[in-house]
Amino acid sequence: MPFRPICGRQPAGRGGLGWNRMTTTEPIVHVDMDAFYASVETIKDPALRGKPIVVGGLGGRGVVTSASYEARAFGVSSAMPIVRARRLCPHAVFLPNDFSAYEKYSRLIRKVFGSYTPLVEPLSLDEAFLDVSGSVKLFGAPVDIARRIKSEVGEIGLPCTVGVAPNKFLAKLASTRAKPDGLLVVPHDAVKEFLHPLPVTALWGVGEGTAEVLRRLGLKTVADIAAVPRSTLQRALGDAAGGHLHQLAWGVDDRPVTPDEPAKSIGSEETFHRDLDDSGEILREMLRLCDRTATRLRSKGLSGRTVTVKIRWSNFKTITRSRTLETAVDTAPEIYAVARSVYERLDPERPRIRLIGVSVSGLAAGPPQRQLDLLTASGRPGWSEASAAIDEIRGRFGDRSVGPATLLGGWVDGGPEGGVPP
């Protein structure tokens, strides 16, 4: 079996991976950081190395965003309620999310990626696809580039797993199979050998529902799916889904690596430690989320026209409401004015609130193109200038150095119409 993953610390040529078969027909590299948030915490505090670490919201309703492999050995996993994680691993070190640190190290990682190819498609802070087909003359075969990237990221202090393959689907699958701290290559002439023994759930798009349909058809492995006519899969799953799975079962994925794909929306949401019922408290939290969303918009040099409010009630029913403006916005008061208006139009007999989210879509590059008017859409002068000053202060002294005065007390509930601080 030529696909046993090896640790990137082993010298090239070992591990039975068929290096002599590697060519530029395997140009896609997928890099996935191992327990990224937890790994960053060990850089911040080296005394944590080797200990079970759980990162996430630490309140009663918080969820795990990252767990070290020492914690995973006890059954802790991402998206698990923190309460359950504490039961499974009570002796773990529980830490709050530090997104500023994670973004800092994500930038360092992407700098490594960018030193080998401009074709980098980030999927999240800790994961990316790279197309290195144009880099082989400078840096060697794709597997050599993968090993160099793995080594340089390791020098930052962060372990990662790397998959190398002919396309994105196979590269992602290779890195998944090689976790943790591994390197796995799928040569172009051995795709079927790698792919067909895997269970059907290894294919993108096969969740519990689809897997059950496939089981009823007697399909348990990828090889089983590949052996079935496309038309049979399309009758069972629909034209699009059936055709998609048939292609993946033969290792076909024509999607290119798309560098810096434009964001479709920018937003923030929060699940609260207890259900919120008081309107003043709800609006304060909404303003906090609007401020965070606006800051993220400006940091990416974007503005947007559509404001969406997401609310999950205490009975777990979730609703979204959107409003599209005539002109784009990028400041907290403007976004909040819309979000508050949307909220106040909801049924006054609404249940208590478990989660609030605020996002902006319909994005465009650059600040809003405002009319030559002394007033902004919120009816107050100078929001753009004030926001720019806030960004500068936060850049120097941290995110908590300055913010809406409203968040210091109960101003929102009794404030002037529009709900923005004077």
The region of weakest confidence among 282-296, 315-329, 342-356, 370-384 is: 370-384
The answer to whether residue 323 scores a pLDDT higher than 50 is: yes
The answer to whether residue 163 scores a pLDDT higher than 90 is: yes
Structure confidence at residue 18 (pLDDT): 41
Encode pLDDT of 121-137 as tens digits: 998 889 999 999 999 99
Encode pLDDT of 325-344 as tens digits: 999 999 999 999 999 999 99
Structure confidence at residue 183 (pLDDT): 97
Q: Would you say 86 and 94 are in contact if contact means Cβ atoms under 8 Å apart?
A: yes
Which position among 70, 127, 285, 334 bears the catalytic label? 127
Structure confidence at residue 343 (pLDDT): 93
Average pLDDT over the chain reads 84
Structure confidence at residue 275 (pLDDT): 87
pLDDT over 70 percentage in the chain: 81
Q: Which of 63, 90, 53, 85 is CA-nearest to residue 273?
A: 63
DSSP annotation of 11: P
Domains detected in the chain = 36-100 (3.40.1170.60), 196-249 (1.10.150.20), 265-395+403-414 (3.30.1490.100)
Q: Would you say 268 and 289 are in contact if contact means Cβ atoms under 8 Å apart?
A: yes
What is the spatial order of strands in the sheet that 64-67 belongs to?
64-67, 53-56, 93-95
Displacement of CA 271 from its chain's centroid (Å): 17
Distance CA(279)–CA(283), nearest Å, equals 6
DSSP string, 263-331: PSEEEEEEEEEEEE--HHHHHHHHHHHHHHHHHHHHHTTEEEEEEEEEEEETTS-EEEEEEEEEEEE-S
Distance CA(6)–CA(149), nearest Å, equals 15
More confident residue, 241 or 16: 241
The answer to whether residue 22 scores a pLDDT higher than 50 is: no
pLDDT over 90 percentage in the chain: 61
pLDDT band of 139, cuts 50, 70, 90: very high
Encode pLDDT of 143-158 as tens digits: 999 999 999 999 999 9
**End-to-end distance of the chain based on CA atoms, in angstroms?**
69
Tokens found for residue 322: 């959107």
pTM for this predicted structure: 0.67
pLDDT band of 271, cuts 50, 70, 90: confident
Structure confidence at residue 99 (pLDDT): 86
Q: Would you say 309 and 358 are in contact if contact means Cβ atoms under 8 Å apart?
A: yes
Structure confidence at residue 12 (pLDDT): 33
Catalytic-residue membership of 127: yes
Which whole number is the average pLDDT over 16-43?
A: 79
Encode pLDDT of 197-208 as tens digits: 999 999 988 888
The answer to whether residue 17 scores a pLDDT higher than 50 is: no
Distance CA(122)–CA(107), nearest Å, equals 11
The answer to whether residue 25 scores a pLDDT higher than 80 is: no
Q: Which residues pair with 304 in a beta bridge?
A: 329, 363
The answer to whether residue 358 scores a pLDDT higher than 60 is: yes
The region of weakest confidence among 100-114, 218-232, 406-420 is: 406-420
Q: Which of 402, 404, 405 is CA-nearest to residue 394?
A: 402
Structure confidence at residue 208 (pLDDT): 83
Q: Which of 57, 54, 42, 36 is CA-nearest to residue 106?
A: 36
Phi, psi (rounded to 5 degrees) for 413: -65, -30
The answer to whether residue 196 scores a pLDDT higher than 70 is: yes
The answer to whether residue 171 scores a pLDDT higher than 60 is: yes
The answer to whether residue 14 scores a pLDDT higher than 50 is: no
More confident residue, 148 or 418: 148
Distance CA(158)–CA(33), nearest Å, equals 7
Structure confidence at residue 416 (pLDDT): 33
Encode pLDDT of 57-115 as tens digits: 877 778 899 999 999 999 999 888 999 999 999 999 999 989 889 999 999 999 999 99
